[in-house]
Every structure is written in C-alpha cells, then in structure tokens.
Homo-oligomer: A and B are copies of this chain.
Amino acid sequence: MSQKRQLLIDTALELFYNNGINSIGINEVLTTSGVAKRTLYSHFKSKDELVMAALQQRHDRFSRWLEAKLSAASSDREVIGCLFGALRSWFGNNEPELGNFRGCFFINTSAEFSDLDSEVAQFCRHHKLEVRRIIAGHLHSDDPLLLDTLCLLKEGAIVTAHLTGSGEAVAARCMEILTQRP
C-alpha cells in the first residue's frame, strides 16, 4: 500500500533521530520528503501519531539488527563479543541500517518527553524491555546478574559514546571489563 506513508515515516525518523523531535517541525518533514501537507494528515491524524510511527519503525529495525548480530553467538562469552562488537561498529558509523550514530533514539526521546505516562514514554520503556529480552534469549546460563551487567554496561556505553564521541574505545573497554570476570 501507500509508499508515501512509508516515505514520511522514513524521513521523519531520520530527521527526528538526528535533530530531536521537538526541534523538527512538520513542515521540515514535508519539504524534505517532498510530500504535501494534506497527504501527511490523511495518513496521520497528528504529529504525535507520526512520532509513534517513527518510534515503531526504529524499534523494528533495531531489534532485527540486534537479533541478527547475536544469532552467531553460541556461548555466553560469544554473546558478549557479538554484542559489544556490534555496538562498536554502530558507534563507528559502520552500520548503515542504523544511520549516523547519535545515541539511542529512545533515551533521547525520553529526555524530551517528561510525562512518564505519555504513549511516547511508555513505548521507550517497552523498547528497552524488548532489547533486554533479546539479549536474554541468546544467553545460555540464565544468570540474572550477568544479564543486568550487560544491559547496564550497554546503556552506559551508548550514552558515553554519544556524549564523548570516542565510541569505539568505549565499546572495547566494555569487552575488557567483561572478559576480566570469571
């Protein structure tokens, strides 16, 4: 069905991710995509609905990407290697399907929407839970402490990579930290 709808979502996601949702107006999405305003509002009844569609799109894409990256791992040690190897590659802008690295879209979006009960904030929580579930699904032991460690270090790495810019060193450091454990 409608390819314009998909074009709008793709354009919105890229602009939102690169500039923040509040910094991007509807008109910028329209001029960038070359779609008419009327068309946008025939597919989405408000900007919020477009935002939700962009979040969903990012979530799907990121989940598929992560799942593929972890699928090769056949031991916990390999899961660690795959996970932080993938992150390092992302931080270094070598994962075209995820776009130019600018932190985690869901962390960034949460920072912009203060109302914790809003649909947007709820979806961000949902995303993080799903990512955790994906990682858990690839670990052999179901040591909850290991899972928490991976998730916490992953979040720390993403934020630090975004803020400092030295993302690849950060990801490598995470692997050092984790391989130094029993």
Judged by a CB distance under 8 angstroms, whether A151 is at the interface is yes
- How many Å lie between the Cα of A69 and that of B173 in the bound state? 27
Residues from chain B with a CB closer than 8 A to the CB of A125 are 163-165
Residues from chain B with a CB closer than 8 A to the CB of A103 are 110-111
Contact yes or no, A20 B114, CB < 8 A: yes
Question: Would you list which residues of chain A between 121 and 161 have a CB under 8 Å from chain B?
Answer: 124-125, 128, 145, 148-149, 151-157, 159-160
Pick from B124, B156, B165: contact of A151, CB below 8 A. Answer: B156
Q: How many copies does the complex hold?
A: 2
What interface size band does chain A fall in?
A: 35 or more
- How many Å lie between the Cα of A84 and that of B125 in the bound state? 23
Contact yes or no, A174 B159, CB < 8 A: no
Residues from chain B with a CB closer than 8 A to the CB of A154 are 156
Contact yes or no, B155 A159, CB < 8 A: yes
**Closest-CB distance, A44 to chain B (whole angstroms):** 21
Q: Show the binding face of A for B, using Cβ within 8 Å.
A: 18-20, 22-23, 102-103, 106-114, 116, 124-125, 128, 145, 148-149, 151-157, 159-160, 162-165, 170, 173-174, 176-177, 180-181
Q: Pick 7 A–B contacts, CB within 8 A, sort by A.
A: A18-B114, A108-B111, A124-B163, A151-B160, A152-B174, A155-B159, A156-B159
